[in-house]
A and B are shown apart, each in its own frame.
Chain A
Amino acid sequence: MKLHQLSVFLENKRGQLSVPLKILACAGIDIRTLSLADTEQFGILRLIVSDWQKAKAALEAEHCVVNVTEVVAIEVPDRPGGLTEVLRVIDDAAVDIEYMYAFTFQSGRAVLIFRFNDPDAAIEQLQKEGIEVVGSREFQESFPD
Chain B
Amino acid sequence: MIKMGKTAGDSFHPAAALDYLPVERLQALQLKRLQAVVQRAYERVRLTRVRMDERSIRPEDIKSLEDIRRLPFTVKSDLRDTYPFGMFASPMEDVVRLHSSSGTTGKPIVVAYTKDDIEVWSSVMVRSLVACGVGPNDIIQNAYGYGLFTGGLGAHYGAENLGATVIPISGGNTDRQIMVMKDFGVTAICCTPSYFVHLVERACELGEDIRKFPLRVGVFGAEPWSEAMRNHIQEQTGIKAHDIYGLSEIIGPGVGIECQCQNGLHIFEDHFYPEIVDPETGEPCPDGVEGELVLTTLTKMAIPMLRYRTRDITAIETNSCGCGRTLRRIRRISRRSDDMIIIRGVNVFPSQIEAALLAVEGTVPHYLIVLTREKGLDRMEIQVEVTPAVFSDTVGALEKLQSRIKKSVENILGISVGVRLVAPHTIERSMGKARRVIDHRNAGS
Contact = CB atoms under 8 A, between A and B. Distances in A.
Contact of A44 (B388, B398, B422, B426): B398
Contacts, number: 53
B393 A65 contact: no
29 contacts: A5-B393, A7-B392, A7-B393, A9-B386, A9-B421, A9-B424, A11-B422, A11-B423, A11-B426, A16-B423, A37-B394, A39-B398, A39-B399, A41-B421, A42-B398, A44-B394, A63-B423, A63-B424, A65-B386, A65-B423, A66-B388, A66-B391, A67-B391, A67-B392, A67-B393, A69-B393, A98-B394, A99-B394, A115-B393
A89 interface: no
Given A65-B386, A67-B388, A42 B393 contact: no
A78 to B, nearest CB: 26
Chain A CB within 10 Å, residue with most, of B386, B391, B393:
B393
B423 A7 contact: no
Interface in A1-29: 5, 7, 9-11, 16
B379 to A, nearest CB: 15
A64 interface: yes
Contacts of B391: 7, 9, 65-67
Nearest to B421: A42
A9 B422 CA distance: 9
Contacts of B421: 9, 11, 41-42
A41 B424 CA distance: 15
Contacts of A63: 423-425
Interface in A57-71: 60, 63-67, 69
A8 B236 CA distance: 25
Contacts of B392: 7, 67
Question: Which secondary structure dominates where chain B touches chain A?
Answer: loop
A46 B393 contact: yes
Contact of A64 (B395, B398, B420, B424): B424
Interface in A65-103: 65-67, 69, 98-99
Contacts of B424: 9, 63-65
A41 B386 contact: no
B248 interface: no
Interface of B: 386-388, 391-395, 398-399, 420-426
A5 B392 CA distance: 12
Given A42-B398, A65-B387, A67-B388, A10 B393 contact: no
B406 to A, nearest CB: 12
A10 B423 contact: yes
Contact of B420 (A37, A41, A69, A99): A41
Of A11, A69, A115, most B-chain CB atoms within 10 Å:
A11
Could you tell me the dominant secondary structure of chain A's interface residues? strand
Interface residues of A, number: 22
A37 B423 contact: no
A39 B395 contact: yes
A44 B393 contact: yes
Contacts of A7: 391-393
A145 to B, nearest CB: 25
Given A9-B421, A11-B422, A65 B388 contact: yes
A72 to B, nearest CB: 14
Given A44-B398, A63-B424, A115-B393, 17 more contacts: A7-B391, A9-B391, A10-B423, A11-B421, A11-B422, A11-B426, A37-B394, A42-B398, A42-B421, A44-B393, A44-B395, A46-B393, A63-B423, A63-B425, A65-B387, A65-B424, A115-B394
Contacts of B399: 39
A116 to B, nearest CB: 12
Contacts of A39: 395, 398-399
Going nearest first, the 10 A-B pairs with the smallest beta carbon separation are A7-B393, A63-B425, A65-B391, A69-B393, A9-B386, A67-B391, A65-B386, A63-B424, A67-B393, A37-B395
Contacts of A10: 423
A66 B387 CA distance: 9
B362 to A, nearest CB: 12
